[in-house]
């Protein structure tokens, strides 16, 4: 053991010796966590704090349960709100803690709905959501326009998204078509073997945010060849959310660019509570370390 390299989980105080094993959700912060559950447990008081603020404001304004609140539960609207907010506000304290308030406007009939997401930001991306709500009230909206409005955050988010799209555009169309064919095969395997009491397919999109965490800090990685002889990787990580334990699996294909660089290109990702399905996709040779995604 190299005693010069000791890192401690901010929540459970577990000691790890490899910095890459820690998860970070705040920009320029030394707070690291050994797992997703520790992140959730550590920030639970902050989540409760913002929920209490919202509940007190709604009670004060006699708003109750607005019919637009369902917007905060829709994965498509949430995805857009986190990727391209219309406004971003930053609330900082003397200790350097930063809380961002992302606000997105939607037109629904003759009414305007405001989706508000309070979150942490890491590497110019929203990393952990503390509160998500929706309102038609400008008065309630103003309570979340806190701190200082920061246009550079929305600009950075747009630039990051455009960069991601540019990278996708560099991948050969033939490769993308091949990925789609392999996705169809993998999806058929999944549909044939999943049980009725497993995670509902219609809910898969709400688990999508676990894909990046699974690839970056997989518990297990397996390497195998498919029927066409292409090298495939299966990334698996156990997660827990609201008392629910599940696996998240990301199946990738080995992609080699024109310069010889090797990348793991995601083909299909999904959550599952079924140990048999988990065992089925644990095929091939277990490997240590992962390719760049």
Instruction: Name residues whose C-beta falls within 8 Å of residue 97's C-beta, 6 or more positions apart in sequence.
Output: 26
Q: What is the mean pLDDT of the chain?
A: 82
pLDDT more than 90, % of the chain: 29
pLDDT tens digits, one per residue of 74-113: 666 776 777 778 888 999 888 888 999 999 998 888 889 9
CA–CA distance, 99 with 119 (Å, rounded to integer): 6
| The 231-241 sheet, strands edge to edge | 262-272, 244-256, 231-241, 220-225, 285-287
H runs (alpha helix) in 104-260: 138-142, 151-170, 173-193, 210-216
**Can you tell me the mean pLDDT for 3-11?**
81
CA–CA distance, 47 with 258 (Å, rounded to integer): 46
Question: Per-residue b/e over 71-103, b at no fewer than 16 CB within 10 Å?
Answer: bbeeeebbeebbbebebbbbeeeeeeebbbbbb
> For the chain, how long is the longest CA-to-CA vector?
64
Pair 17, 6: CB distance under 8 Å: yes
What are the CA-CA distances from residue 278 to residues 235, 249, 282 (Å)?
11, 8, 6
pLDDT at 162 over 80: no
What pLDDT was estimated at residue 214? Answer: 86
pLDDT tens digits, one per residue of 189-198: 998 898 988 9
CA–CA distance, 113 with 69 (Å, rounded to integer): 9
Residue 171, CB-side half-sphere exposure with 13 Å CA sphere: 19
Pair 128, 150: CB distance under 8 Å: no
Is pTM, for the whole model, over 0.75?
no
pLDDT at 39 over 60: yes
Which DSSP helix (H) or strand (E) runs through 87?
Answer: strand 87-92
């Amino acid at each position: 053991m190299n005693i010069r390299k000791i890192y401690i989980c901010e929540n459970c105080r577990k000691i790890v010796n490899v910095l890459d094993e820690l998860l970070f959700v705040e920009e320029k912060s030394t707070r690291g966590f050994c797992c997703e559950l520790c992140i959730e447990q550590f920030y639970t008081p902050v989540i409760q704090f913002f929920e209490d603020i919202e509940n007190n404001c709604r009670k004060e304004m006699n708003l109750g349960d607005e019919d637009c609140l369902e917007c905060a539960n829709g994965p498509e609207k949430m995805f857009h709100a986190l990727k391209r907010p219309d406004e971003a506000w930053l609330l900082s304290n003397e200790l350097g803690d930063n809380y961002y308030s992302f606000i997105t406007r939607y037109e629904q009939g003759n009414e305007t709905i405001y989706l508000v997401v309070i979150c942490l930001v890491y590497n110019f991306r929203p990393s952990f959501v503390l509160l998500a709500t929706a309102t038609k009230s400008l008065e309630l909206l103003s309570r979340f326009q806190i701190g200082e409005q920061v246009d550079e955050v929305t600009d950075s988010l747009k630039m990051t998204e455009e960069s991601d799209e540019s990278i996708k555009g560099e991948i050969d169309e033939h490769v993308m078509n091949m990925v789609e064919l392999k996705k169809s095969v993998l999806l058929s395997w999944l549909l044939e073997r999943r049980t009725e009491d497993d995670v509902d397919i219609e809910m898969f999109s709400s688990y999508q945010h676990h894909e990046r965490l699974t690839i970056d800090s997989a518990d297990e990685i397996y390497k195998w060849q498919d029927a066409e002889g292409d090298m495939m990787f299966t990334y698996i990580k156990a997660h827990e959310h609201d008392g629910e334990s599940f696996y998240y699996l990301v199946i990738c294909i080995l992609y080699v660019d024109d310069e010889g660089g090797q990348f793991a290109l995601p083909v299909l990702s999904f959550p599952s509570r079924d140990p048999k399905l988990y065992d089925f996709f644990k095929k091939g040779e277990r490997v240590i370390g992962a390719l760049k995604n």
